[in-house]
Amino acid sequence: DIVMTQSPDSLAVSLGERATINCKSSQSILYSPDNKNQLAWYQQKPGQPPKLLFYWASTRESGVPDRFSGSESGTDFTLTINNLQAEDVAVYYCHQYYHAWAFGQGTHVEIK
């Protein structure tokens, strides 16, 4: 089974600063026919379902502010939030949907 290792568990960032969340898959999640990593990033706030931010690792979902960015390098994936805003306080998850879904442990982002 593919294991997603996400770090850190929690992150305190000042307003306007940058938050960086990392996720590593235990094996390749690259779908060869279209050369796309099968990875999504979600934001989840209390009492709400996960909100899709990125799919294929770096394709931003419609409506997601461009201060959010997703990047990829092999089996390493990063979610970056630039210019952190108060409304970005949430838990963030990575998710591989290459085979038999798996999720990272989640990262709590809060304001310092």
C-beta of 50: minimal distance to other proteins in Å? 6
Which residue lies nearer to other proteins by CB, 6 or 75? 6
Among 13, 52, 64, 89, binds other proteins (CB under 8 A): 52
Closest approach of other proteins to the CB of residue 40, in Å: 6
Residue 72: partners with Cβ closer than 8 Å, 6 or more residues away: 37, 39, 57, 58, 78
* Residue from 32, 49, 63, 73 binding other proteins (CB under 8 A): 49
Nearer to other proteins, 16 or 49 (CB): 49
Q: Which two tokens stand for residue 42?
A: 């979600």
Instruction: Return the structure tokens found at 9.
Output: 């568990």
**Pairing mode of beta strands 102-103, 4-7:** unpaired
- 3-state secondary structure (DSSP) of residue 86: helix
Structure tokens at 30: 């690259």
Residues that bind other proteins (CB under 8 A): 1, 40, 49-50, 52, 55, 93, 95, 97, 99-106
